[in-house]
Amino acid sequence: MTLALETTDLKIELALADDWFTVCELSTLLPGRGVAALLPDGRQAAVFRDRSGDLFAIDNRDPFTGAAVLSRGLTGTHQGRPFVASPLLKQRFDLASGQCLDDEAVRVTAYKVRTS
Amino acid sequence: MTATPEATEATPTIVLVGHGMVGQRFLEALAERGLTATHRVVVLCEEPRPAYDRVALTSYFSGKTPEDLSMTDMEFIETHGIELYVGDPAIAVDREARKVTARSGEVFDYDVLVLATGSYPFVPPVPGKDAEGCFVYRTIEDLLAIEEYAKNATTGAVVGGGLLGLEAAGALKGLGLTSHIVEFAPRLMPVQVDDGGGAALLRTIEEMGLSVHTGVGTQEIVVGEDGAVTGMKLSDGSELAADLVVFSAGVRPRDQLARDCGLTVGERGGITVDEQCRTVADPHVFAIGECALASDGRVYGLVAPGYEQAETAAATIASDEASFTGADLSTKLKLLGVDVASFGDAHGTAEDCLDVVYSDSRAGLYKKLVIGRDGTLLGGILVGDAEAYGTLKAFTGSVPPVAPESLVLPAGAGESVQLGPSALPDDAIICSCHNVSKGAIRGAVTDHQCTTVPEVKKCTKAGTGCGSCVKVLGQLVNAELEASGVEVDKGLCGCFAQTREELYEIVRALRITTYQDLLDRHGREGARGGDGCEVCKPAVGSIIASLAPTIGASGYVLDGEQAALQDTNDHFLANLQKNGSYSVVPRIPGGEIAPEKLIVIGEIARDFGLYTKITGGQRIDMFGARVEQLPVIWARLVDAGFESGHAYGKSLRTVKSCVGQTWCRYGVQDSVRMAIDLELRYRGLRSPHKLKSAVSGCQRECAEAQSKDFGVIATANGWNLYVGGNGGATPRHADLLAQDLSDAELVRLIDRFLMFYIRTADRLERTSTWLDRIPGGLDHVRDVVVHDSLGICDELEKLMQAHVAHYRDEWAETINDPEKLSRFVSFVNAPDTPDPVVAFVPERDQMKPDLPLLSIGMRPADVLEGSAQR
C-alpha cells in the first residue's frame, strides 16, 4: 500500500512545443493499457505504461480510420520494442517512435514523456 | 363465406384425379390464376389423407408425424371451395359423356379432367412376392404397416439399391432390424452415380451397419408354412434369411384409368401428353406428374418437373401461354446422412468428354466432373460432400472461371487444412478486398522471403481489409513454407511456441492464473519478461477466464492484470464502432422480452440519442454511445433488470428461438423455455471465439438452429442437437450430434461439447472450422462427448458446473465499483469533455457517425510527419 501512496504523487508530463504538460497521476495508468489525454491545442495523446514502468505517448488518432482510439489498443513487445495495436483494424505502432510497423509510409506523432 | 359459385349447369367443372404433391400444386396454381372462383373444382383422392410430402416420407421414422408431413392446408381447400373427396378414387372415366365415376358410386360431370395419379411401386414378378411380410415403400400407410410388422421381425431385406431403397433400408435399421440391400446393378444408386460414386457410397453405407449385395437379382421370396416370408433366394445361388422384405425396385406410371378410357399411353407406360400437358387423345383431359409421358418422351419421377407440369396445365386451362418441354434431372439429396448429387451429363455420355475425379475413400468422398474438350463443364457427380452443387450446377454448360479440379477439391476448411490451399489455382482470389491472388501470396513467400503472415500481409496487402481471409492466408503461407522445406512454426504467436490448445493444458494443469506468469515461464526465450503481443494477450485472457473458477483466478474480466489483456471491446464491455463510439446490447434471453423492458430500451435510446437496430440474434443494439455514457446507460439498464449481453466478448452471444409449442400450431416442444435456459446457463462463458445458438420448436426450423455453433431442434420425442453450423463468410450446415435427447441429456451434452471445444480449439477458431480441422472430425468429437472415449466427460461437466455457479453480471459489478468506473472517460485529464471526433449527423429519423469528420480530423501536421492519406 505504501508503494501506491508513493506513486500517487508522481505526475505524468508530456513535452509539447513550448513546455511540459501535465496529463495525470502515474497511478492512473494500468501497466499494459493506455489512456487518452486532451492537449491544449485540441489534439489528443495516447499515453501508455509498459510492464517495466516505462512511459510512452503517441498521437491518439488512428491514421487508418481517423478515430481517436489508439489509447484503447492492446500493447506488446515486437523485437524488443513496445507497440500498440489499433483496436479498429489492428495496425501496430511503435510506441517510442510512432512508426507504423505494418506500413512504412505511416507514422504518428510521438511525444517525450517524464514523471515529476 | 366461399368464393365458389353455385354449382349450376353453367359453372364449368374441373375434376382432378389424384391428390399427391403435384395434384396439390395444381390446385394452388388454379387458385393463383383465379380459376377456383370461376370453376367448380372436384378432387378425388385415393389415399386416406390429403396430399403430403412424399419426398420426406422417411422422416416419419425420425420423428415426424403424418400431420407434420401434410402439405394440405384445409383452410386453403375451404377458402377456395374445393370439393376434396379423401379415400375415394376415380374408377372410371366416360370421355364421351365427360363423366368420372368415383368408387363411392358418385358421378361427376367435367369440362376439364386432370389426371395426377402418380406412380406405383414396381414389384418384380418373383414367386412369393405377395407373401405376408412383403411390403412396398410409397405411402404413409406402407410405412405404418412396415413399422407394425417390424415389431416381430429381426432381419429386413430391401430389393433395390436406389434412392428409396437406401432410405427404406435405413428405416428398417432404425426400427432395430438387421438390414440387407439387394441391388441388381453392380452399384448402389445406379441411375444417379457412376461406379466410383457407388463405391464411395457403398463404404459409407456399410459403415453404418447395412449389408449390401450388388450385382445380384432376387429370384424367389422364400415363404414359410404359415405363409410369411422367411428369406430370399438370389441369382448367384445364395440365400438370405429375412422376415421382412421391402420392394423398392423403381416405379411405374399409374395409367390404368387412362388406358381403360382409351387415352394414348406410351410403350413403357405413361399417359402421352403434349407441351401443354394435354393428352394427345382428348383436349378435355390433362395428365401431370409421374403418370404423364411428357412431350420429350420421358416420364419424370422428380417433384420439381411435376410442379412445372402442374403450373403448365393450370396456365393452359386459364388460356395463358405455357409449355413443358422437359426438365433438368439434376438432384441433390441427403441419404442416410450422406450427400449425393448429380447434375447435367453425370455419366459422361457426350462425345470426347473427359473426367476430373477426386476420391477419398477414407472420408467417403467422391467427386467427378465431366468436362468437354473445350473446357466446358458438362455435368458431374458428388458423393459425401455436395456443398459445391449449387455453384457447379450454375457453371454447367459454360467454361468455369477457375480450373475444374479446384471445384471438386475440398476448399476452405476441413481436410483443406492440408489440401485446400495447395488445391487452389494460382489465379484464385484469396483476398477479395485487395484482389490478391494465391499466386501473389506464394510469390511473397518464394520471391520476397516472407516467412510469417504479418510479413505477407505487409508485402501483398492480403488480409488487411476485412480480415476474413487471414485463416486461409495462414494455411497458404504454411503450405508454401513447408513446400520449400522451411520448418513451420505452429506456435500461437511470436511470444509463445505452443498452440492455444497446449497453452490451455498448461494453464489448467499448472493452475497459472496470470498472463505474465505464463509468459515468463512458458513463453519463447526472447519474449519472457516482455509485454507480449496483441495476439496472445486476449487468447490467454480468454483461457484464464474460461478456467477461472477451476484454477482459482478471478472470473471478472476487468480485475487486475486481466484488464490489460482484453481487447477494447472487453475492456469497456461494449462494442467499438468505426468512429470510436460504442454500441450497447443488453441480454434478451431467447429473444423474449416484456413490453415494460422494451419501453426501457426505447427510453434509454431516446434519452441518449442512440441509433437502434434489431440484431440478427433477436435483440436490440443501441449505437453511438461515448465511453463516458456507458456506465450511465448501464446503470439504467441494470436497474430495469437487464444484464450484459456479452456482444463484445468471445463468448456466448444469443440463443435464438421460435415461439414453439406454446403458440405455434406446429410446435412440438417449448423452444422458448429451452432457449432461455440455455442462454442463462452459458452466458458469460469465455471461449476461443463467439458462440451462437438457437432452438427451433419443430422440424420447420424457424430459428435456423442448423446455422449455429450449437443448435437444437425439437422432435416429438425430445431434442436433436446439431453442432458446428455457421453463417458468415464460410457458411456451414451444422452436423447432427445426437437425437431425441431429454432436457437433461441435451444440457449435459452441450456442456461437454462446449468445454471440449474451449479446450482444443485454436484462437479465433469457430466450432465449424474446429470440427473440420481436428483429426477425426465430427466422429471423434462424438466419440469424446457422447461415448466418453477419452474418459474426460466428467471433468468437462465439472468445468461447466463451475462456470455456471460462478457467473456474475459484469456490468452490475462494474457500475458498483468506483475505481473501475473511473476508466470510463474519453480523457484522463478532462473527464467531463466528450471526444470531439465522436459526432453524428441525422439519417432516416435517427443518426449516424459523422464520417467526414473522421477525415477532416487528419491534421496537416500528421501528414507532414509522414502519415499517408488513406
Q: Which of B514, B828, B854 to mutate to test the interface with A (most CBs of A within 10 A)?
A: B828
Q: What one-letter code names the amino acid at B281?
A: A
Residues near B606 by beta carbon (within 8 Å), at least 6 away in sequence = none
Residue B422: the pLDDT is 60
State the number of CA atoms in the 13 A half-sphere of B3 facing the CB. Answer: 15
How far apart CA B837 and CA B547 sit, in angstroms, is 39
Residue A49 in contact with partner chain B when CB distance is under 8 A: no
Residue B301: the pLDDT is 82
Question: Residue B788 corresponds to which cell in the numbers above?
Answer: 466418453
Q: Which of B453, B582, B583, B867 to mutate to test the interface with A (most CBs of A within 10 A)?
A: B867
Residue B676: the pLDDT is 95
Quote the domain boundaries for residue A75: 2-115
Residue A61 in contact with partner chain B when CB distance is under 8 A: yes
Q: pLDDT grade, residue B375 (50/70/90)?
A: confident
Please report residues of B whose CB lies closer than 8 A to that of A68. Answer: 580, 835, 837, 857
Residue B702 annotated as part of some ligand binding site? yes
- Is B868 close to A32, i.e. CB distance below 8 A? no
- Is A65 close to B854, i.e. CB distance below 8 A? yes
Residue B571 burial class via C-beta count within 10 angstroms: exposed 0-12, middle 13-18, buried 19 and up: buried
Closest among B612, B594, B592 to B602, alpha carbons compared? B612
Question: Residue B345 pLDDT > 60, yes or no?
Answer: yes
Task: Give ∠ CA B139-B143-B148 in degrees, rounded to 5.
Answer: 145
Could you tell me how far CA B870 lies from the centroid of its own chain?
40
Give the number of domains in chain A: 1
Q: What is the SS3 assignment for B590?
A: helix
Question: Residue B615 corresponds to which cell in the numbers above?
Answer: 440484431
Can you give the three-state secondary structure of B215-257, one letter per residue?
Answer: CCCEEEEEECCCCEEEEEEECCCCEEECCEEEECCCEEECCHH
Residue B517 in contact with partner chain A when CB distance is under 8 A: no
Q: What is the SS3 assignment for B858?
A: coil
- Is B827 close to A44, i.e. CB distance below 8 A? yes
Question: Residue B8 pLDDT > 70, yes or no?
Answer: no
- Is B865 close to A108, i.e. CB distance below 8 A? yes
- Is B532 close to A77, i.e. CB distance below 8 A? yes
Chain B 834-863, residues with CB within 8 Å of chain A CB atoms: 835-837, 853-855, 857-859, 861-862
Please report residues of A whose CB lies closer than 8 A to that of B571. Answer: 33, 72
**Residue in the structure block whose three cell numbers are 454447367:** B396
- Is A67 close to B854, i.e. CB distance below 8 A? yes
Please report residues of A whose CB lies closer than 8 A to that of B457. Answer: 102
Q: What is the SS3 assignment for A10?
A: coil
Per this entry, what is the length of chain A?
116
Please provide residue B290's backbone torsions phi and psi, each rounded to the nearest 5 degrees.
Answer: -70, -10
Task: Give ∠ CA B734-B738-B740 in degrees, rounded to 5.
Answer: 120
- Is A51 close to B531, i.e. CB distance below 8 A? yes
Taking the CA of residue A84 and the nearest CA in chain B, the distance in Å comes to 8
Residue B532 in contact with partner chain A when CB distance is under 8 A: yes
Residue B658 annotated as part of some ligand binding site? yes
Q: How many percent of chain B have pLDDT more than 70?
A: 90
Closest among A20, A87, A115 to B579, alpha carbons compared? A87
Q: pLDDT grade, residue B6 (50/70/90)?
A: very low
Q: Cβ distance A28 to A88 under 8 Å?
A: no
How far apart CA B375 and CA B373 sit, in angstroms, is 5
- Is B531 close to A85, i.e. CB distance below 8 A? no
Q: Cβ distance B539 to B492 under 8 Å?
A: yes
Taking the CA of residue A62 and the nearest CA in chain B, the distance in Å comes to 9
How far apart CA B847 and CA B289 sit, in angstroms, is 55
Residue B410: the pLDDT is 58
ipTM strictly over 0.85?
yes
Taking the CA of residue A49 and the nearest CA in chain B, the distance in Å comes to 10
Q: Cβ distance B230 to B241 under 8 Å?
A: yes
Question: Residue B180 pLDDT > 70, yes or no?
Answer: yes
pTM value surpassing 0.90? no
Indicate left, alpha or beta for A52 from its phi (over 0: left) and psi (-120 to 50: alpha): alpha
Q: Cβ distance B582 to B634 under 8 Å?
A: no
If one compares B115 and B507, the residue with the highest pLDDT of the two is B115
How far apart CA B371 and CA B380 sit, in angstroms, is 9
Residue B863: the pLDDT is 36
Residue B431 annotated as part of some ligand binding site? no
Please report residues of A whose CB lies closer than 8 A to that of B575. Answer: none
Question: Residue B534 pLDDT > 60, yes or no?
Answer: yes
Question: Residue B419 pLDDT > 50, yes or no?
Answer: no
Q: pLDDT grade, residue B415 (50/70/90)?
A: very low
How far apart CA B470 and CA B467 sit, in angstroms, is 6
Distances (CA, A) of B32 to A2, A12, B6: 84, 77, 20
- Is B837 close to A66, i.e. CB distance below 8 A? yes
- The CATH number for A80's domain is 2.102.10.10
- Is A106 close to B830, i.e. CB distance below 8 A? no
CA-based nearest residue in chain B for residue A62: B858
Question: Residue A15 pLDDT > 60, yes or no?
Answer: yes
For range B565-594, the mean pLDDT: 89
Residue B865: the pLDDT is 38
Q: What one-letter code names the amino acid at B397?
A: G
Q: What one-letter code names the amino acid at B730?
A: T
Taking the CA of residue B729 and the nearest CA in chain A, the distance in Å comes to 18
Residues near B739 by beta carbon (within 8 Å), at least 6 away in sequence = B62, B63, B715, B720, B721
- Is A61 close to B866, i.e. CB distance below 8 A? no
Closest among B163, B135, B146, B215 to B336, alpha carbons compared? B163
Which among B578, B867, B870 is the nearest to A108, CB-wise?
B867
Residue A28 in contact with partner chain B when CB distance is under 8 A: yes
Instruction: Specify the DSSP class assigned to residue B727.
Output: -
Question: Residue B50 pLDDT > 50, yes or no?
Answer: yes
Question: Residue A59 corresponds to which cell in the numbers above?
Answer: 498521437
Tens digits of residue pLDDT in B805-864 = 888 898 998 888 888 888 888 898 888 888 888 889 899 999 999 888 877 545 444 433
For range B254-263, the mean pLDDT: 94
Q: pLDDT grade, residue B447 (50/70/90)?
A: confident
Q: Kindly list the structural domains of chain B, giving each domain's residue range(s) and its CATH number in brackets, ordered by start.
A: 13-120+253-317 (3.50.50.60), 123-249 (3.50.50.60), 500-566 (no CATH), 567-644+809-870 (3.90.480), 652-806 (3.30.413.10)
Please provide residue A75's backbone torsions phi and psi, each rounded to the nearest 5 degrees.
Answer: -105, 165
- Is B579 close to A90, i.e. CB distance below 8 A? no
CA-based nearest residue in chain A for residue B527: A77
If one compares B795 and B427, the residue with the highest pLDDT of the two is B795
Q: Cβ distance B730 to B654 under 8 Å?
A: no
- Is B568 close to A73, i.e. CB distance below 8 A? yes
- Is B534 close to A74, i.e. CB distance below 8 A? yes
Residue B277 annotated as part of some ligand binding site? no
Which among A67, A80, A98 is the nearest to B580, CB-wise?
A67
Tens digits of residue pLDDT in A30-52 = 888 889 999 888 889 999 988 88
Alpha helix positions (H), B447-535: 453-460, 470-483, 500-510, 515-522
Instruction: Specify the DSSP class assigned to residue B372.
Output: -
Residue A55 in contact with partner chain B when CB distance is under 8 A: no
Residue B39: the pLDDT is 94
Q: Cβ distance B742 to B718 under 8 Å?
A: yes
Tens digits of residue pLDDT in B298-312 = 898 888 789 889 999
Residue B754: the pLDDT is 95
Instruction: Specify the DSSP class assigned to residue B430.
Output: E
Q: How many percent of chain B have pLDDT more than 90?
A: 43
Q: Cβ distance B182 to B234 under 8 Å?
A: yes
Q: Cβ distance B38 to B65 under 8 Å?
A: no
If one compares B361 and B298, the residue with the highest pLDDT of the two is B298
- Is B868 close to A73, i.e. CB distance below 8 A? no
Residue B527: the pLDDT is 85
Rg of chain B over Cα atoms, rounded to whole angstroms, equals: 32
